[in-house]
Amino acid sequence: MTTLRPEQTPSWRLPDPAPYLHGPGPEPAPEPPPPAGSTRYGTGRVAQPLPPEDDATMSLRRVEPPPPVVTGGRAERRRAAQRAARARKDSIGVVVSRLTGELFITLGVVMLLFVAYQLWWTNVIAQRQAGGAAKDLQHSWDRGEGADRDAGAFSPGQGFAIVYIPALDVKAPIAQGIGKHKVLDRGMVGHYAEGPLKSAMPWDKQGNFALAGHRNTHGEPFRYVNRLKPGDKIVVETQSAFYTYEMTSRLDQTPPANVRVIDPVPAGSGFTGPGRYITLTTCTPEFTSTYRMIVWGKMVDERPRSKGKPDALVN
């Protein structure tokens, strides 16, 4: 038996075509109408159903879906789920690539946070600390506390003066020593006052008042000292007086080991004899500590604090 076979000829037959092949014959008499109450198929009878179709026709009309596959019990379903889960797992290469990418993203975020901390947040903290130290120092002077003393009379990290650079809008406290954590990282300017680097104080009758400050991060008070021009003023305020210096020259780059730049008569400054000088030192190039930039000046005015601010801080 085949399922793609055309339907077989039914059991009924067409009329015999022979009479029509020999020309028209006498027309058959019309059938009499069925009596009342009868049907086409007989009096008092209803239409009978068609005879049943053979197996070939039935197979075309009634194709049943295949029965569902009978699966095993709970253990078999669990094993099948485990096999499917293993099939879905990524290969070792994919896992390693994904972990490597996530690691690089994490490192990038950490580096960005570190840069933001170094370039921005350290300045915020250091400037706040330096501003508070300057106010405390001025309040102590107003109360008559403290006095001008020799360089070795102040303890490391102790503030004793304030430096102003009007052309750069800088105001920063000056503390004893050049310690990184106690002085420089707190936004203060450090005074070279220890060992072979010991330098003079502003009130000394001659000598070189040498200072150090950060150029980048941690308050960066000396960020733009490279912009100073000859004639720009640098003012140092102490408990008793204002000392005004005038910038004279600059050394753009020198090794850190060149300590002669803070000698009483600093080498390379152009000064030829003893005097009352000031030296500013900072790192260069920016964001590195490879070399040092040096700025020199000479004192042009000394004014008692009781007489008010000098012209450089008023104009």
Give pLDDT, residue 88.
66
Look at strands 42-43 and 38-39 and give their pairing.
Answer: antiparallel
Name residue 163's beta-bridge partners. 172, 236
Give pLDDT, residue 301.
97
CA angle 203, 208, 212 (to 5 degrees): 105
Does the active-site annotation cover 139? Answer: no
Give pLDDT, residue 62.
52
**Blockwise average pLDDT, block size 10, the chain, 315 residues:** 45 49 51 52 49 50 52 75 70 78 83 71 85 89 70 82 97 95 94 93 96 93 97 96 98 97 97 98 94 98 94 89
Give pLDDT, residue 250.
98
Give pLDDT, residue 207.
97
- pLDDT digits 0-9 by tens, 291-305: 999 999 999 999 999
Q: Which of 22, 139, 214, 218 is catalytic?
A: 214
Q: What is the phi-psi region of residue 220: left when phi exceeds 0, alpha when psi lies from -120 to 50, beta otherwise?
A: left
Does the active-site annotation cover 191? Answer: no
CATH code of the region 122-314: 2.40.260.10
Structural contact between residues 158 and 175, judged by C-beta atoms closer than 8 angstroms: yes
Give pLDDT, residue 315.
74
Would you kindly state where each structural domain of the chain is located, as residue ranges? 122-314
Give pLDDT, residue 10.
47
Q: Three-state SS for 212?
A: strand
Q: Which of 22, 181, 218, 283 is catalytic?
A: 283
- pLDDT digits 0-9 by tens, 231-272: 999 999 999 999 999 999 999 999 999 999 999 999 999 999
